[in-house]
Amino acid sequence: MTDLTQAGWIWLAKGAGAVAGSAISVAYILPQHRRDAAVRFAVGVVCGMVFGGATGLKLAEQLGLTGELGAAETMLMGSAVASLCAWSVIGLALRYFQARPAGPAPGAAKADFPEQKGR
C-alpha cells in the first residue's frame, strides 16, 4: 500500500468533509424530488471542496483551535461546514420566498392587456 503525502491527506479530508456536510444538508432539509437531491448534493460537495480551506481556517481561528488542529483536520471541519451551509442557507431562503406571494417589481410599468374573449 502506498503512503499518502500531506497534500493527499488534505485532499482526502476536504472530500470527506464535503461529502459528509452535503449528505447532512440533504437529510436536514429534505428535497421534493431526486433531481433536487442530486443537485443539492453536487453543489454541496463542490462548495465544500472550493471553500473548505478558508472556512476551516476561519472557524479554527474563531474557536481558538489553530495550534491544536492539523491541516487535514482543519480542512475536514471547514469543508463539512461549507457544504452544510451552502444548501442549508439556500434551502431556507427558498422556503421563505415560496411562502410569500410574488408581487409586481417596484417601479415596473403596469401592463394593460385587453380581455381576450373566445379563447
* pTM over cut 0.85: no
Mean pLDDT for all residues in the chain: 81
Structural domain boundaries enclosing 91: 7-99
Q: Is residue 119 part of a domain?
A: no
CB atoms closer than 10 angstroms to residue 88: 17
Give me the pLDDT at residue 116, please. Answer: 61
Give me the pLDDT at residue 32, please. Answer: 81
Q: Is residue 110 part of a domain?
A: no
Task: Tally the domains of the chain.
Answer: 1
Q: What is the pLDDT of residues 13-50, one digit of tens each?
A: 888 888 888 888 788 777 788 888 888 888 888 988 99
Q: What is the pLDDT of residues 85-97, one digit of tens each?
A: 887 777 777 778 7
> Which residues have a Cβ under 8 Å from the Cβ of 26 and sit 6 or more positions away?
37, 40, 41, 44, 87
Q: Is residue 28 part of a domain?
A: yes
